[in-house]
Amino acid sequence: MHTYIIRVRGFHLDLYGHVNNARYLEFLEEARWDLLEADRGLDWWHEQGLAFLVASITINYRRPAGLGVDLEIRSSMRRLGGRSAVLRQEVVNLATDEVVADADVTFVVICQETGRPVALDGALREAFGGDPA
């Protein structure tokens, strides 16, 4: 599991003083970038001619989060298929340990030259932590 912490700032909030729903997508994206950088680094991805591409996101908003709250984004592989995978991301309020949002992010890895999805095998499969069913 990969974790990433974000503190809620004023510009993250909506009219009601809660994190705006669109901001959660940004928080999740920021955590995915950190995940990619933490393992092999962005240089590895560029050297391989590969890019991480989100195909869909299903997100659930569970509880509000307000100003000054520290949120931990917990990312783990839910399913690793032949050409696509699903990353599970949970946004947790660190003060209460409550899940405030969760998402399943379906993604593919594409060849930057052709724009086509590549097989998730070998070094790529290893980069994503093995073989979750």
> What are the structural domain ranges in the chain?
2-127
pLDDT number for residue 87: 96
Tell me if residue 14 is catalytic: yes
Average pLDDT of the segment spanning 104-127: 91
pLDDT single digits (tens) 38-62: 877 888 888 989 998 999 999 999 9
- Say which CATH topology domain 2-127 has: Thiol Ester Dehydrase; Chain A (3.10.129)
pLDDT number for residue 61: 96
Of the candidates 76, 65, 71, 90, the one whose C-alpha atom is nearest the C-alpha of residue 128 is 76
pLDDT single digits (tens) 49-98: 999 899 999 999 999 999 999 999 999 999 999 999 999 999 999 999 99
Six token digits for residue 88? 């599970």
Give a three-class secondary structure readout of 53-64: EEEEEEEEECCC
Asked whether the predicted pLDDT for residue 124 surpasses 70, the reply is yes
